[in-house]
Structure 1
């Protein structure tokens, strides 16, 4: 009898303990789950397509940069979002460097304007910087077709000459003096929010094409002005070279690296005895786009005052986020002769 009573007591105790344990499990508060915060960029730089933390505020600034061999290496190229290269006179080329994401401390050597340089600056609603002008460009600038500052009016003040080079390959302007020039001219350097180019978003697969790890471009000016672009798979960018040397920025000594290289075929017309050109930025034509070691044949057309590339189906070419170099070559001899893939 005592054994049965003891067993009953033990059983009841175990049941009570089990019940308490079960209730404790139900009432136990789980530890808080640590939230892993991930920042997804919702803002992208409008001229490079790269993710940025803050909305861009700087109005595009376009500078005519000297590309003569005596002007190399140039200053400020690595800060440019987009660089255009085209013939200025004869078969010698000049660069138009567009700055929006950042400004270098100094840009140059600065060279003279052409009418089609002014047209591009107007299309971007950019503040335009040059030193000198063709007769056609002079009239456009005097008529304030675009907000601008010119070294012909400010040589030795806003524009400074370097002592290690000779004119006309030694005129430079600083970031501070560009801002001063804008203030003098009553020009607002605030970005107006316009967009001109399409970019791939993160994780979006870029269109493929025909393999082309290297491309060379002949502007007709001989070896000093021919250029080549080689795709570096490790770096994921194109390295530009000219006259046998990599294109570098004098300010940091680093090579210019590009995510996109584009070539537009455009009508060129010689307009005077100096060999100055008129370039048709409006009609549209054949083009090529080089991205990630691939090339595609596309077209170009005018969009909001800017020549842009379009796919064969008419959709706008998307650019790989990063820096872009755009070349204008003449319809004579044309893409097939002026541009070589290898």
Structure 2
């Protein structure tokens, strides 16, 4: 077959897939083409810790992330690992500290991991993972060699409490990473992608409910709804019954894919109320794409591997190009209508 003919056929196939549903099986070469067009490959992702206490709301820059992982922290308060590859964010935050499972999530993207310090044993653990670290604080305990590299600034108009005032930028992080010799080239976002479903392929699942409560903690204001907007084929995020808006734009955060991973969450495990969250192995999963709900499972072989998403028949899930929001919760914590 002539090369020009092959290119025409691939282009036609891509056009069909861009109008296809979430359940279509996308050939690997076309997946790569879609990812390249969306800017989701070739760059090393930047993973940034963002807090979610009431004092931190509304946050900056989450809507520009390619992927956001949301997981419970001390006292039932969630935090976000926001992953940027295809777009930059001029401001991200409030910028907060790391926990072991957040670092493990960042590792799954082979990312440059930006965080505002952590406790001594976690500095040591993060260093053992072999991550490109970009901490805002130096480990003064001597348990690791991590030094304060991450650029940040404080905005005292956002809060009178120091821990809610730190902000950073993917642009500044990349500049610093280049200066210290971190490679900015990478494999991008390691998920499978496709185009939005056309009107006929969109479902009627209008509301997704996610409960981040645990046996130890179930504070109000952290449960989440994603309301499906059929016209834009996106999900509008609500938190504590209110729209979750971006600080700078005032717009409600809208995402293309909602993924819920069921895993083991225990704690508190120490006097500091830290939690433990399993990020490897496998578990039940729920995918909300194109107005449809799909039950399947997730897999991650080890800490050096990416997360993989599968439907009930074992086929890899293809996500829509755009922001994907991943929630990790205990069993029985997701519902929809």
TM-score (norm 1): 0.77
Residues 269-288 of structure 1 mapped to structure 2, 5 A cutoff: 269-270=266-267, 271-288=269-286
Residues 1-342 of structure 1 mapped to structure 2, 5 A cutoff: 52=37, 56-143=41-128, 145-153=130-138, 158-164=151-157, 165=159, 166-191=161-186, 193=187, 196-201=190-195, 211-220=204-213, 221-270=218-267, 271-302=269-300, 305-330=305-330, 334=331, 336=332, 338-342=333-337
* Cα deviations by residue, 1:40-59 (Å, 9 ceiling, x for unpaired): 8899997x956738785431
Question: Paired residues, what number?
Answer: 296
Q: Distance in 1 between matches of 2:183 and 2:84?
A: 15
Distance change >3 Å, CA 194–CA 150, structure 1 → 2: closer
Structure 1 unpaired stretches of 5+: 1-38
Q: Distance in 1 between matches of 2:219 and 2:254?
A: 24
Residues 193-202 or 298-307, more deviating: 193-202
Distance change >3 Å, CA 245–CA 307, structure 1 → 2: same
Q: Distance in 1 between matches of 2:287 and 2:155?
A: 37
Q: Is the 8 A contact 1:66 1:108 kept in 2?
A: yes
Distance change >3 Å, CA 142–CA 286, structure 1 → 2: closer
For the pair shown, which has the larger CA radius of gyration, 1 or 2? 1
Q: Is the 8 A contact 2:41 2:188 kept in 1?
A: no
Q: Distance in 1 between matches of 2:235 and 2:307?
A: 22
Root-mean-square deviation (CA, aligned residues, Å) is: 3.0
Q: Distance in 2 between matches of 1:240 and 1:53?
A: 23
Q: Distance in 2 between matches of 1:298 and 1:340?
A: 14
Structure 2 unpaired stretches of 5+: 1-10, 16-28, 139-146
* Cα deviations by residue, 1:137-163 (Å, 9 ceiling, x for unpaired): 211334462011112248898221111
* Cα deviations by residue, 1:217-251 (Å, 9 ceiling, x for unpaired): 11113321111100011221100011232112223
Q: Distance in 1 between matches of 2:200 and 2:266?
A: 36
Q: Is the 8 A contact 1:161 1:170 kept in 2?
A: yes
Q: Distance in 1 between matches of 2:62 and 2:40?
A: 23
Q: How far 1:86 moved relative to its partner?
A: 0.3
Does 1 or 2 have the higher relative contact order (CA < 8 Å, sep 6+)? 2
TM-score (norm 2): 0.78
Q: Distance in 1 between matches of 2:274 and 2:205?
A: 33
Q: How far 1:301 moved relative to its partner?
A: 0.8
Secondary structure of 2:102 counterpart? helix
Q: Distance in 2 between matches of 1:45 and 1:128?
A: 26
Q: Is the 8 A contact 1:71 1:109 kept in 2?
A: yes
Distance change >3 Å, CA 206–CA 94, structure 1 → 2: farther
Q: Is the 8 A contact 1:241 1:247 kept in 2?
A: yes
Q: Distance in 2 between matches of 1:204 and 1:314?
A: 24
